[in-house]
A and B are shown apart, each in its own frame.
Chain A
Amino acid sequence: MSSPAAAAPADASGTLPELAGVYWRRPVTDRALRQTGRRWTLSTVAHTAPFVVAAGVLAWLRPVLAPVSIILLVHAWVIPELYAARGANVVRRRRRGDHPAEPVALGLLGDLVDHRARDLHAGTRLVLERGRLGTWLIAEAGAVLVRPGGRRVHCYCVRVPDPDLPPSDRTAHLLLALRTDEAGFATVANLAFSGARWRLRRRLAKDVREALDAAALEARAS
């Protein structure tokens, strides 16, 4: 960075100060993310497999109970869908209507990103940011991490707790925190969903799907 002119040492640790508030959490690393992904998959299987097995057993023992089996299978399908919906919520636009200061905030956010990211934000309200852990989509109250390869996503709830800020300022807060310390950002944030990208994509609005596709493209190239 720019050399400090008057006794201006940077934060030597390079970590987010917000980490002090979640000292009990294990720092997020590439390995930790892989483990988290596997745990989410196992958890989902554990939640759904009993319904599938019960549906099969019932239908086999008593074909007349096939309608019950169908209900059980619907349950097995709905559970992961609910998880994915929770993940989709992190990139949902929080409030309708225009904040009077949004154009000013948008100008500052635009100064922080390149042309491609600006264009994507104009259409989706999401900022695409490449990181070491994958490709991020940053919203005003959450972020989606598309892991390298583009198949798995991690959705995080994270926000700046100031309700008066315009949406683009909220996004800029998250973007700057992410750039300062990507692993720290993921540690501070609350994980809302980890799973297959296709499952999340189905729960997103059309314009947000385009952003997710762009992030997946970046993630596949990384």
Chain B
Amino acid sequence: MSRLVRMDQTGHTTVAEWTAEDPAAVATAVAAFRAELDQGYFAVVSEGEGRAEQVRELPLDAPLVILRRPIAGG
């Protein structure tokens, strides 16, 4: 089961869950993913220490996709 989570004031919220074999869940997850990006979130797939990839389309076989807010110099 893959998950799309958003980091927010609750710690994190699971926005969608899907398996590649479930087209309805995939469609729901893709729609939710695009809605979050439209809200200004960036989607990242962490690949262990030192590596992460920002994605603009939902990678269906990634186990965890994390939505983050933009950062800025303090």
User: Total number of A-B contacts with CB less than 8 angstroms?
Assistant: 156
Q: How many residues of A contact B (CB 8 A)?
A: 61
CA of A169 to CA of B13 in the docked complex: distance in angstroms? 12
Given the complex, which residues of B lie within 8 Å of A162, measured CB to CB?
Answer: 9, 69
Interface assignment of A189: CB less than 8 Å from any CB of chain B: yes
Determine whether the beta carbon of B62 is less than 8 Å from that of A160. no
Which of the residues A8, A129, A130, A169 comes within 8 Å of B60, measured between beta carbons?
A: A8
Given the complex, which residues of B lie within 8 Å of A168, measured CB to CB?
Answer: 11
Determine whether the beta carbon of B68 is less than 8 Å from that of A177. yes
Count class of interface residues, chain B: 35 or more
Interface assignment of B66: CB less than 8 Å from any CB of chain A: yes
Q: Which residue of A lies closest to B13 (CB)?
A: A104
Question: DSSP majority for the A interface?
Answer: mixed
Which of the residues A129, A166, A176 comes within 8 Å of B49, measured between beta carbons?
A: A129
Closest CB of chain A to B21's CB: distance in Å?
Answer: 11
Given the complex, which residues of A lie within 8 Å of B58, measured CB to CB?
Answer: 6, 8
Determine whether the beta carbon of B71 is less than 8 Å from that of A8. no
Given the complex, which residues of B lie within 8 Å of A16, measured CB to CB?
Answer: 54, 71
Q: Mark B1-32, 1 if CB is under 8 A from A, else 0.
A: 00001011111100000001000001000100
Q: Among the listed stretches A61-69, A105-113, A144-152, which one makes contact with chain B, having 4 or more residues with CB under 8 Å of it?
A: A105-113
Q: Mark A1-25, 1 if CB is under 8 A from B, else 0.
A: 1111111111100101110011000
Residues of chain A touching chain B, judged by Cβ–Cβ distance below 8 Å, are 1-11, 14, 16-18, 21-22, 90, 101-108, 111-114, 117, 129-132, 141-142, 156-162, 164-166, 168-169, 172-174, 176-177, 179-180, 182, 185, 188-190
Provide 8 A-B residue pairs closer than 8 Å at the C-beta atoms, listed in order of the A residue. Answer: A5-B20, A8-B59, A10-B53, A105-B11, A129-B49, A130-B49, A169-B12, A189-B73
